[in-house]
Structure 1
């Protein structure tokens, strides 16, 4: 009888240890780039996780290299990223220590754009109209993936226009000034962006296909995240934020709202959708 009781106790303790070992933590550290496309995705997903009882800490980064290093080391556990092109170099370098969790949006496109009132539609028409644009394409920060791709486009089409390095703020100011005066301007820009909506620009066609095609956004995690956080992973996999919604959120921010308020307004207006996302069984 004593031996039977010892066996029962041992089984019970083992069961408790197994349950404890598989109990899911309720605190998650999320990394995000402090950019207008990724911040709304992170904020909306944070809300879904918090509604399910998780404590979510968000750490902002300004460079892909630093963000991927933090994710690889486990300083943050998940990160939203465009692994196909924009951050492909960092993904390929570290993917053996990471895992792709789920798609969360799609359609990021970077290219050369002009206001819709400008009567050209393709990159290969720029040379014939170089004088209209003052012989320049107004770019952004020199270290960005967009400028790298734009440089390749200038070479690939043998463009006679100068690709001007600068900043996003300077490019935006130049675009606004030109639109206010209904003057031609060519800029490097991306979608989703409030600029595309506010200034009514069109992307020039790229017949040679030098700019990458529309990109997807994915939640990626430190290796083992899905095993350690199975319910959180399922919740995150349910979240999908269409590109126009990201653009609309950032337009509201540009018009004076804080990002937190714009995200809250979006989640409040999509309460039924969030409930469906959150209705994931443990």
Structure 2
């Protein structure tokens, strides 16, 4: 009887351990940056994973270096990132400890843009039309990747226009004011942005190739994530969010909705699409 009791206790402990392991497998720790391209991707993917029965914990980071460090250490399991350009240095530094899981969007682009009614189409035309643009290009925060590229463009094209450092808010206000008056303005801009949805803009051609081509977003994870979490990996692989939809979600946020509300509106509207994504067996 005593031996039977000990065996029963051992089985109970083993069952408790298995339940604990199972619970851990059904929890995903996801990292994000609170930027208008990554936040919608994160929210939509979170919804899909939850539909597959996962508990998803999201941690927001202020910049790439901190996010990649957390991923490499295992503080988070997955992170949506561009790895070919914007975060390429961080990816290259940590890639031996990381893995690419699946693409989730494509179309990130940064450049110098003007209103669609402007008469020029190329960065090469800026000098000849400098006065029309107030002899300036309105930029955003100094030190950003976009401003670094814009600085390189000024040098590469020997532009006589001054590249103004400032903030995204100040650039946005200047852009709105110019468009309201049908005036010319040159700004540093990016996609996906609600501004390219709200205003008819065009990126100036870049024949010297200073600005990189459109980039892709991937879900990346700590090495071994896919092998340890094959079902979550399959769920992630089904998710793809077009850049136009990311812009639309951010446009709704700009118009007063919270990000959670805008993401829910999108997932409700695209329920059939999500069902196709989730055509994989739920685990």
TM-score (norm 1): 0.91
**Alpha-carbon separation, structure 2, partners of 1:118 and 1:279:** 46
Shift of 1:238: 0.5
**Corresponding residue number in structure 1 for 2:179:** 179
Superposition pairs of residues 58-69 of structure 1, within 5 angstroms: 58-69=58-69
Deviations 1:41-75 (A, max 9, x none): 00000000001110101111121111111111111
RMSD in angstroms over aligned alpha carbons? 2.0
**Count of aligned residue pairs for this structure pair:** 270
Q: Partner of 1:277 in structure 2?
A: 277
User: What do residues 122-164 of structure 1 show as CA deviations (whole Å, max 9, x unaligned)?
Assistant: 0000000111111111111112111111111111111111111
Distance in 1 of aligned mates of 2:184 and 2:273 = 42
Confirm or deny that 1:86 pairs with 2:86.
yes
Match of residue 262 from structure 1: 262
1:168-207 equivalent positions in 2, closer than 5 A: 168-207=168-207
List structure 1 segments (4+ residues) > 3 angstroms apart after TM superposition: 19-24
Distance of 2:195 and 2:100 partners within structure 1: 30
CA contact (8 A) 1:32 1:42 kept: yes
**Alignment check: 8 A CA contact 1:22 1:228 kept:** no
What's 2:233 paired with? 233
CA–CA distance in 1 between the matches of 2:65 and 2:121? 35
- Unpaired segments ≥5 residues, structure 1: 1-11
Match of residue 28 from structure 1: 28
Distance 2:31 2:20 in 1: 26
Structure 2 gaps, min length 5: 1-10
Question: Is residue 246 of structure 1 aligned with residue 246 of structure 2?
Answer: yes
Equivalent residue for 1:42?
42
User: Whole-Å Cα distance in 1 between the matches of residues 165 and 62 of structure 2?
Assistant: 19
Partners of 2:197 and 2:25 lie apart in 1 by 41
Alpha-carbon distance between aligned partners in 2 of 1:61 and 1:22, rounded to the nearest angstrom: 28
Task: Give 1:139's aligned residue.
Answer: 139
Q: Could you tell me the TM-score, scaled by structure 2's length?
A: 0.91
Q: Distance in 2 between matches of 1:228 and 1:20?
A: 16
Q: 1:21 and 1:61, CA in 2 relative to 1: closer, same or farther beyond 3 A?
A: closer
Does the residue aligned with 1:39 lie in a helix, a strand or coil? Answer: helix
Give the Cα–Cα distance (whole angstroms) in 2 for the partners of residues 161 and 38 of structure 1: 32
Shift of 1:22: 8.2
Q: Secondary structure at the match of 2:56?
A: strand
